[in-house]
Amino acid sequence: MRGRYTTGWANLTVINVQLEKALAFRGIDPQVAEQSIRDAKRLTGEALQDVRVIMRGRWLQPERESFSLRPAVEQLAANMANNIDVDVYIEGSDDGFSQQSLMALYRAVQEGLTNIQKHSQAQKARIRIYLGDSEARLELSDDGRGFDTNTLVGAGGEDVGRYGLQGVRERLQLIGGSLEVESKVGESTSLCVTVPRDPAIFAQHSALSTQNSKLKTQRSGKV
């Protein structure tokens, strides 16, 4: 159950960031502000869905009371069966993985499949998840029409959140994960996501790195 609570808090954090961004840009770039509000609305819906799942106890395994990635992803693929043929392959075990990391992978698959259904005109999609010793890797691809990845970035270099990838990227950044998208107009699209096994370890390394950088800066100033 803890994973759902953690993800809910992460979503609330991103929602707050999006709303602050909307306030900051409303007089500068109304389109960016509007997109931030839409992203916040979408994340609010996801948070509400998490609450409903907690209340129903869905995807819980009684013996450990934790989110199980495999049946959740397989259900997402099954939900697409009437429109797209989705092939799922998962290698390794999610035992020992942070619930926050597993939920981030799940949300990436969910958003990716939604994009495929809405935009790609694909007939087939493939999900590959590799659960390793230190991180997990997701590869999601389709045989659709593709798109220009430059449309994911605004004129000022900011990610404008098209195709719902902004929310995915922000959730991943919160836990030290990454998102890469490869696509060309008229060709297939590939989405690659990595997440650490334990975001807490990433946070510790990040804090240590920041501290070392500050020490180096202070020492350089004294020379």
Helices and strands of the chain, counted as H and E runs: 6, 5
Amino acid identity at 138: L
Residues 163-186 have pLDDT tens digits of: 567 778 888 888 889 999 888 888
Note whether residue 153 is domain-resident: yes
How far is Cα 209 from Cα 217, in angstroms, rounded to an integer?
12
Q: Is the predicted pLDDT of residue 134 greater than 80, yes or no?
A: yes
Asked, for residue 222, whether it belongs to a domain, the answer is no
The pLDDT assigned to 34 comes to 86
Nearest to 3 by CA among 131, 136, 97: 97
Q: How far is CA 211 from CA 101, 113, 202, 207, 208, in A?
A: 25, 40, 14, 6, 5
Model confidence band, residue 3 (pLDDT cutoffs 50, 70, 90)? very low
Express each pLDDT in 196-218 by its tens digit: 998 876 555 555 455 555 555 55
Is 145 among the domain residues? yes
pLDDT at 128 over 90: yes
The CATH number given to whatever domain includes residue 157 is 3.30.565.10
Cβ neighbours around 82 below 10 Å, total: 6
- Contact present, 37 and 22 (Cβ < 8 Å): yes
Mean pLDDT score of the chain, rounded to an integer? Answer: 76
pLDDT (average), residues 7-32 = 72
Amino acid 124: pLDDT: 93
**Residue 118's domain spans which residues?**
2-213
User: Looking at the domain assignment, is residue 91 inside a domain?
Assistant: yes
Domain total of the chain? 1
Evaluate whether residue 157 is within a structural domain.
yes
For residues 175 and 170, what is the distance between their CA atoms, to the nearest angstrom? 9
Cβ–Cβ under 8 Å, residues 124 and 113? no
In a domain, 221, yes or no: no
DSSP secondary structure code for residue 122 in this structure? -
**Helix H or strand E segment including 86:** strand 85-91
Q: What b/e string do you get for 22-53 counting C-beta neighbours within 10 Å, with b at 16 or more?
A: beebeeebeebbebbbbbbebbeebbeebeeb
Q: For 20-66, how does the pLDDT look when each residue is reduced to its tens digit (9 = 90+)? A: 778 888 888 888 888 878 877 877 777 776 666 555 545 444 444 56
**pTM of the predicted model, to two decimals?**
0.63
- Look at 112 and 67; give whichever has higher pLDDT: 112
> Over pLDDT 70: what percentage of the chain?
67
219: in domain: no
Taking the C-alpha atoms of residue 221 and residue 139, their distance in angstroms, rounded to an integer, is 45
pLDDT at 8 over 60: no
Assigned domain for 223 exists: no
